[in-house]
């Protein structure tokens, strides 16, 4: 394998007690937003919350992760599937590269089917603006079921 890509994960503070099981599983399996690393070693160098709305930790956590070698920040899938989805995710996605020069990927693990069905029924993700935000995590039904 090549030089590892070093990543940091930022989760929604609503899930601050999350142990990261789905994110870490997807990282190991290179599922969801980690699929582009399928032929690379990956080193997780940071895992934290956004700090709660409106995301105060977004100002500081990426800097600490960068000091630990992070090249890419993944905004966890929980920011997409929580209800309502994070209203600040697009601002985070734009701020981190501007402030820290780091790549940002929206998503970690594939969206679980139960969340997909709820958001589909509620029409949450109907707006075209959601397409690029969901792209890395909107897997096929079998994969979504595997992450339920």
Read off the pLDDT of residues 40-87 as tens digits, 9 standing for 90 and up: 999 999 999 999 999 999 999 999 999 999 999 999 999 999 999 999
Q: Is the pLDDT of residue 2 over 80?
A: no
Cβ-count burial 93-132 (b if 16+ within 10 Å, e if not):
bebbeeebebebbbbbbbbbbebbeebeeeebbeeeebee
Q: Is the pLDDT of residue 98 over 60?
A: yes
Categorize the per-residue pLDDT at 3 as very low, low, confident or very high, splitting at 50, 70 and 90. confident
Q: Over the stretch 19-49, which tens digit does the pLDDT of each residue have?
A: 999 999 999 999 999 999 999 999 999 999 9
**What is the H or E stretch that residue 49 is in?**
strand 42-49
With the C-alpha atoms ordered 4, 132, 14, 64, is the resulting torsion angle positive or negative? positive
Q: Mean pLDDT, the chain, as a whole number?
A: 96
Residue 91: what pLDDT? 96
Which strand ranges, in their side-by-side order, compose the sheet holding 103-106?
A: 42-49, 5-11, 72-75, 103-106
Q: Is the pLDDT of residue 7 over 80?
A: yes
Spatial contact of 40 and 4, defined as CB atoms under 8 Å apart: yes
Q: Which domains occur in the chain, in start order?
A: 5-146 (3.40.50)
**What beta strand segments (E) does the chain contain?**
5-11, 42-49, 72-75, 103-106
Residue 1: what pLDDT? 53
């Amino acid at each position: 394998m090549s030089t590892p890509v070093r990543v940091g994960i930022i989760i929604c503070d609503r899930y601050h007690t999350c142990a990261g099981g789905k994110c870490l599983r997807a990282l190991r399996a290179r599922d969801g937003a980690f699929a582009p690393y399928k032929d690379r070693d990956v080193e997780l160098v940071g895992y934290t919350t956004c700090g709660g709305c409106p995301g105060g930790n977004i100002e500081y956590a990426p800097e600490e992760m960068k000091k630990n070698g992070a090249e890419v920040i993944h905004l966890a899938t929980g920011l997409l599937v929580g209800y309502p989805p994070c209203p600040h995710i697009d601002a985070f996605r734009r701020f981190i590269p501007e402030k820290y020069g780091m790549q940002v990927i929206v998503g970690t693990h594939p969206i679980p089917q139960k969340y997909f069905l709820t958001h589909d029924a509620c029409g949450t993700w109907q707006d075209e603006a959601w397409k690029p935000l969901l792209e890395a995590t909107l897997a096929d039904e079998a994969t979504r079921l595997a992450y339920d």
